[in-house]
Structure 1
């Protein structure tokens, strides 16, 4: 199959980053950004910018009739996933391939409950240092999309079709024949990096150098390694070292999405990270003190939002 029609739902950092790259290398009408009327009007009036360049996007509302997408990409926040699943119905056809670039280890399963797991390629976005403020996205490193079938060992025709499309549009990618391990590895990284930078209210530079923050991050990641063994997808110290090398490539001044949420006083995806770790620990009777501490600290930070809003009225 050849991928011609592409739909994206979610104009956060990843939606803008990859959408902008696609838009420079394919017909405008073939890339559909799905947005409700309110968001569409705001995007069209205020613009959406990527590294200072206004994105030339073709917006469609969820109720507009259209050809099914050959490739559908979810780039929403986790708390918007269920709503997004309903809004993309007109874009899902018999041969649609679905990628989810969401953080965590559960979005593919949730999407698959509605559209079938056979439509999904498992996906991990890694290595980008994008920062979004308002309608402006900036980045030094685009990173890449790693994807593959759920079953280990496969390099399928669907994977090859997506790879060919990414080649044409200049999007860095990697085919992976062991995606569950990759997914857990990225989960481990997110649990360590996102939460630590948010709690220390700093940036990647804080955890790239030796010190308390980096030690906290690595300790949180090692708790995920222990749980991965119990879940039958064992990670090792070698995997931890790999993801630390990925972290080392990021701009020191950049920061992950959770830190950006805390800075903007938005509620974060903590339930996807330490929240999920704590549930898995309860399931297996394991101790995860570092993640419990990070969870409590992030919840405490978020509990101040309402107070700050009242004081600012």
Structure 2
């Protein structure tokens, strides 16, 4: 198996990382998939990443059909609307990764195209949008994690490693990808959401025992739900349980979305956890509060409430 062509749906934080990392190696064989006005805009304007402009090779889903590797990097709220595009693109041999936040994107996509196409993955990247460009620090970005559910190397993981070799994309073959995905999920919920509700920088988790308490309780609920699924993320001392080093004033994605008055991914974070908790008979009161609190902040941003 050899990956010669790559298509990306979604040119935000994750998509931009792959655009910057694969453009030199793949050239015309790296495609962005879009339709209508968005396709015209991307073709005309390209994308600016870390002060460098990238011209994009934009294809419709029909034109991208049969690509070797499809990367899904949309916001969680856009995933359902993206499924028809994915169905049009995927051919019998197409490998699909969805290194999005959350724990269920592979299942959502796999139910449409077949789980045999899906390779579990996730990303660790801290980026922000400044004016019309995406900005991230390539040196501290931990990048892509991927692996088979059985923890063994495979023809598929070998193909991904071969593709990313000699590129600036940081990548890691995971020996326990589902556990690592849930460790990332716990980080997102316990660090993204409390600061978004309080509207504070990352340093507040150290400065405030109250914020630290909320964060700890929210993470414990993620750990409890994971345990009910047979996934152990109780150890908080390992590398996977910790974020990379960020400045004390760092504002993670949920707070960035609220700052910009965009919809957040709260449905994917606490929304999904609360739903799973109910199905598994695991109590998640702190996440249930966070879900409704951030929904209220979204309503405030939209002018629905004052």
Calculate the TM-score normalised by the size of structure 1. Answer: 0.89
2:187 paired residue number: 189
Contact 1:208 1:248 (8 Å CA) reproduced: no
CA RMSD of aligned residues (A): 2.2
Matches within 5 A, 1:204-243: 204-207=202-205, 211-238=209-236, 241-243=238-240
Matches within 5 A, 1:79-94: 79-94=77-92
Structure 1, unaligned stretches of length 5 or more? none
Contact 2:261 2:302 (8 Å CA) reproduced: no
Does the alignment pair 1:129 with 2:133?
no
Show CA shifts across 1:131-158 (max 9, x none).
Answer: 12453111123321110113x2321110
2:2 paired residue number: 2
The 1:252/1:58 distance shift into structure 2, 3 A limit, reads: farther
1:286 shift after superposition: 2.9
2:17 paired residue number: 17
Runs of 4+ in 1 over 4 A off after TM superposition: none
1:90 shift after superposition: 4.2
SS at match of 2:289: helix
The 1:37/1:205 distance shift into structure 2, 3 A limit, reads: farther
Q: 2:294 aligns with which of 290, 294, 298?
A: 298
Matches within 5 A, 1:132-281: 132-140=129-137, 141-150=140-149, 152-207=150-205, 211-238=209-236, 241-245=238-242, 247-281=243-277
The 1:18/1:66 distance shift into structure 2, 3 A limit, reads: closer
Contact 2:106 2:120 (8 Å CA) reproduced: yes
The separation in 1 between residues aligned to 2:115 and 2:245, in whole angstroms, is 33
The 1:24/1:290 distance shift into structure 2, 3 A limit, reads: same
1:40 shift after superposition: 2.1
The separation in 2 between residues aligned to 1:54 and 1:208, in whole angstroms, is 38
The separation in 1 between residues aligned to 2:244 and 2:88, in whole angstroms, is 41
Contact 1:8 1:74 (8 Å CA) reproduced: yes
Calculate the TM-score normalised by the size of structure 2. Answer: 0.91
Contact 1:208 1:252 (8 Å CA) reproduced: no
Structure 2, unaligned stretches of length 5 or more? none
5-14 vs 279-288, which deviates more? 279-288
SS at match of 1:121: coil
Q: 2:282 aligns with which of 283, 286, 289?
A: 286
Contact 1:5 1:68 (8 Å CA) reproduced: no
Matches within 5 A, 1:56-67: 56-63=55-62, 65-66=63-64
Show CA shifts across 1:185-244 (max 9, x none).
Answer: 111111112212211223333336554333322221111112211121122133x65345
The separation in 1 between residues aligned to 2:194 and 2:177, in whole angstroms, is 25
99-108 vs 86-95, which deviates more? 86-95
Contact 2:46 2:56 (8 Å CA) reproduced: no
The separation in 2 between residues aligned to 1:160 and 1:66, in whole angstroms, is 23
The 1:137/1:175 distance shift into structure 2, 3 A limit, reads: same
